[in-house]
Amino acid sequence: MTLHILLVEDEVRLAKFVEMELTCEGYQVSVANDGMTGLSLARESTPNLAILDWMLPGLSGVEICRRLRATGSKIPIILLTAKDEVESRVAGLDAGADDYVIKPFSMEELLARIRAHLRRTWKDNRDLLQFEDLSLNCDSREVFRGTRAIELTAKEFDLLEYLMSNPRQVFTREQILERVWGYDFVGDYNVIEVYIRYLRVKLEENNEKRLIHTIRGVGYVLREE
């Protein structure tokens, strides 16, 4: 599995250098050079870790961090900044950052910090599926929309888990029926439509945006609107 890192840095040369180093280490890297673009990428691409510069055009790294945490995102966040005062470090950590790297920095140190956070997160969340503000724990079978707990039946959970296993991938009705209900199921495709409707009602109970979409004539997909 290729781990995805989001880098938000307005110093273009530095951003290109860090991107090159991360790519050489085998990471998939998305880059933004301003705060609003960075926030959008963080919400849309669900990275495994984010590296945010403190001072950014449009929206600061600290504000991006604060907004992500407000929507329930638990991805590790490393702040890059020239601010080395204790007050600045406290402000960044209080906003929800996991780590703090002062410029100029050693690339080897940054890579080591990235590996440490990803190891911990991968160990802690190996049974956790996350998409947008929707999270599903395969081990405890708990589901949350942001901070709101959602009670699902066993079959509703299995269906949602299957859709969340590959976000943005369209699953045909045949695939869903075989995977969730089994090869020996004697019913028809209508059961899928019924359970998709049940899931939508529960996931959108507080008027949250729709995440499960119908692809007419094909099947269903978990994706942004």
Structural domain tally of the chain?
2
Same domain, 93 and 188: no
For the stretch 7-25, pLDDT in tens is: 999 999 999 999 999 999 8
DSSP designation for 141? T
Same domain, 105 and 134: no
Same domain, 120 and 132: no
Same domain, 33 and 92: yes
Pick from 193, 126, 125, 127: nearest CA to 159: 193
- 90-94, 124-128, 172-176: the lowest-pLDDT one: 124-128
- Does this model's pTM top 0.85? My answer is no
Q: Which residue has the higher pLDDT, 171 or 119?
A: 171
* Confidence category of residue 199, pLDDT binned at 50, 70, 90: very high
* Spatial contact of 45 and 3, defined as CB atoms under 8 Å apart: no
Q: What is the largest CA-CA distance in the chain?
A: 66
* Spatial contact of 65 and 99, defined as CB atoms under 8 Å apart: no
Same domain, 23 and 41: yes
Domain span at residue 150? 128-222
pLDDT at 24: 92
- Per-chain mean pLDDT for the chain: 89
Average pLDDT score over residue span 126-148:
84
Same domain, 116 and 200: no
Same domain, 171 and 111: no
Same domain, 19 and 89: yes
Measured distance CA(197)–CA(7) in Å, rounded: 37
* Confidence category of residue 78, pLDDT binned at 50, 70, 90: very high
200 Cβ contact list (under 8 Å, min separation 6): 210, 212
* Confidence category of residue 125, pLDDT binned at 50, 70, 90: low
Identity at 218, one-letter amino acid code:
V
**Is pLDDT at 6 greater than 80 in this prediction?**
yes
Over pLDDT 70: what percentage of the chain?
95
- Residue 135: which CATH number? 1.10.10.10
Same domain, 62 and 109: yes
pLDDT at 53: 95
77-91 in b/e form (b: 16+ CB < 10 A) is bbbbbeeeeeebbee
* Confidence category of residue 89, pLDDT binned at 50, 70, 90: confident
Same domain, 8 and 52: yes
Same domain, 14 and 71: yes
170 Cβ contact list (under 8 Å, min separation 6): 215, 218, 219, 220, 221
Of the residues 124, 154, 188, the one at which a domain ends: 124
pLDDT at 119: 78
Of the residues 124, 158, 177, the one at which a domain ends: 124
Of the residues 101, 124, 147, the one at which a domain ends: 124
Same domain, 70 and 12: yes
Instruction: Take residue 126 and report the two structure tokens written for it.
Output: 């190996």
Measured distance CA(113)–CA(63) in Å, rounded: 22
Average pLDDT score over residue span 28-35:
95
